[in-house]
């Protein structure tokens, strides 16, 4: 069953209930619950759902007037929060301001490609300006932000959007990095000219001086539903790099990699303090998994996770099929936004809108990562040697699982 999505969101965040009884058009789960529950019950539900200590909401940050004006003028969601950490005796706080941007594309997919890309640049400019003027230190954009998410089509013409890591999209962002002294993570479709025009799904890490620190290529490629990405690019060959920036150690787990706990683990073992998960995913398939996987990764690995999903519905010129019995269709479904940040102490910000472009800002003291490691000790109780042995055996074709069968079991009756 396809869910209908109403792109019109009422100002008060309350849902409109259409005649067929379905709920659509509400802004976010947080606002839906907040507008529907008494403050006392909302507080307790928040404690259970998003790990806020005794239900106390995260502090909101008072973002300055320039960003607010940009937000209302250009109609994007703007929310800002602050995570708590303990004051330490021997280390100063290491407070970093992180920004996540989610957005829909700007022009129909039938427009000339260069126009489509430039229109996204134009659309993003005020949102990036809002981040910059708000003092964001590390900004992350969504997966393949410089193009429609055309991989559902299996048409190869969309590869034209691919750029080298020092291409036009990187140049566009380098200006902002320099202007605002801001690290920017730019997930693009990459064209690797030095390796025979290989196409990759890549995050470019731009330093706060505008320099390119490095790149990371998506490690796990989906083959599910309309996610026909394996038609376009292969599993990344860059390992699990952690980038040591002016504002902390960061890594990027691109989209479908969030379904793989080992991928999250590897960034943690390499020392990441914030892992960004730029994504493009649709409601019917993944929405109930969306907050679970990110928050679990933050808890299990004692780091912050910034989750970003694009917004809106993209209609392609030629219908395509998924091979799952559905009739042909020209869109991938509704990208439900809902970008949010998870902390190692199991707390979590509210999510951005399910419908609108948005900028989520959050202050976090990176000291919290080590505080949680010291408290819970997952790294010390993890027994990695046991799992190293297991995986070494598992990857061999003749692996025998450890199974203890009931000796009284009559296998014929199974």
Q: Which of 24, 140, 152, 255 is catalytic?
A: 255
CA-CA-CA-CA dihedral for 197, 199, 205, 207, to nearest 10: 20
Q: Which of 117, 215, 218, 249 is catalytic?
A: 218
**Alpha-carbon separation of residue 375 from 122, 309, 328, 370 (angstroms):** 46, 32, 52, 8
Dist CA 105 CA 103 (whole Å): 7
Dist CA 171 CA 281 (whole Å): 27
10 Å Cβ neighbour count for 123? 17
Q: Has 218 been annotated as catalytic? A: yes
Q: Compute the radius of gyration of the chain from its Cα atoms.
A: 22
Dist CA 365 CA 71 (whole Å): 26
Q: What's the order of all strands across the beta sheet hosting 212-217? A: 59-60, 77-82, 358-365, 95-102, 138-140, 183-192, 198-206, 212-217
Dist CA 192 CA 234 (whole Å): 12
Q: Which of 143, 163, 190, 293 is catalytic?
A: 143
In the complex, what is the shortest distance from the CB of residue 333 to its own copies, in angstroms, rounded to a whole number?
14
Dist CA 118 CA 115 (whole Å): 5
Q: Could you tell me how many residues make up the chain?
A: 414
Residue with smaller CB distance to its own copies, 271 or 319? 271
What per-residue string of b and e applies to 6-23 under the rule 16 or more CB within 10 Å gives b? beebeeeebbeeeeeeee
Q: Has 143 been annotated as catalytic? A: yes
Dist CA 260 CA 397 (whole Å): 21
DSSP type of residue 223: -
Dist CA 180 CA 187 (whole Å): 19
In the complex, what is the shortest distance from the CB of residue 251 to its own copies, in angstroms, rounded to a whole number?
9
Residue with smaller CB distance to its own copies, 196 or 407? 407
10 Å Cβ neighbour count for 59? 12
In the complex, what is the shortest distance from the CB of residue 230 to its own copies, in angstroms, rounded to a whole number?
9
Collapsed DSSP state (helix, strand, coil) of residue 312: strand
Give, for 206, the enclosing helix (H) or strand (E).
Answer: strand 198-206
In the complex, what is the shortest distance from the CB of residue 133 to its own copies, in angstroms, rounded to a whole number?
23
Query: Contact, 194 vs 157, CB < 8 A?
Result: no
What is the sign of the dihedral through the CA atoms of 281, 287, 291 and 293? negative
* Helix boundaries (H) for 134-181: 168-180
Q: Which residues participate in catalysis according to the annotation? A: 143, 218, 255
């Amino acid at each position: 069953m396809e869910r209908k999505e109403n792109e019109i969101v009422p100002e008060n965040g309350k849902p409109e209930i259409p005649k067929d009884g379905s709920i659509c058009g509400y802004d976010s789960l947080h606002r839906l619950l907040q507008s529907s529950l008494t403050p006392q019950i909302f507080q307790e539900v928040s404690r259970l759902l998003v790990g806020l200590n005794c239900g106390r909401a995260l502090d909101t940050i008072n973002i300055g007037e320039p960003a607010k004006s940009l937000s209302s003028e250009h109609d994007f969601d703007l929310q800002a929060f602050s995570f708590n950490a303990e004051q330490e005796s021997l280390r100063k706080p290491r407070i970093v301001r992180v920004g996540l941007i989610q957005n829909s594309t700007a022009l129909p997919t039938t427009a000339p490609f260069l126009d489509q890309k430039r229109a996204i640049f134009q659309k993003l400019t005020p949102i990036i300006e809002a981040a910059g003027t708000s003092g964001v230190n590390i900004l992350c954009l969504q997966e393949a932000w410089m193009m429609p998410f055309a991989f559902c089509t299996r048409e190869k013409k969309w590869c034209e959007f691919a750029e080298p890591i020092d291409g036009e999209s990187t140049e566009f962002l380098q200006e902002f990095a320099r202007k605002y002294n801001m690290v920017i993570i730019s997930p693009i479709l990459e064209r690797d000219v030095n390796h025979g025009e290989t196409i990759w799904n890549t995050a470019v890490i731009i330093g706060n001086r505008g320099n390119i620190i490095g790149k990371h290529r998506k490690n796990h490629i989906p083959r599910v539903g309309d996610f026909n990405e394996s038609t376009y690019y292969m599993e990344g060959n860059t390992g699990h790099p952690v980038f040591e920036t002016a504002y902390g150690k960061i890594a990027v787990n691109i989209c479908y990699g969030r379904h793989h706990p080992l991928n999250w683990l590897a960034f943690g073992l390499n020392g990441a303090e914030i892992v960004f998960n730029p994504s493009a995913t649709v409601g019917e398939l993944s929405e109930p998994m969306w907050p679970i996987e990110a928050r679990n990764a933050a808890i299990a690995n004692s780091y912050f996770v910034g989750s970003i999903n694009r917004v809106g519905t993209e209609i392609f010129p030629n219908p395509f099929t998924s091979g799952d019995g559905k009739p042909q269709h020209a869109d991938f479904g509704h990208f439900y936004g809902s970008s949010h940040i998870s902390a190692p102490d199991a707390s979590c910000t509210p999510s951005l809108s399910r419908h609108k472009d948005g900028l989520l800002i959050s202050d976090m003291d990176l000291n919290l990562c080590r505080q949680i490691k010291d408290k819970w000790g997952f790294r010390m109780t993890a027994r990695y040697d046991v799992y190293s042995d297991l995986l070494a055996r598992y990857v061999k074709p003749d692996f025998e699982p450890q199974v203890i069968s009931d000796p009284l079991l009559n296998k014929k009756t199974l």
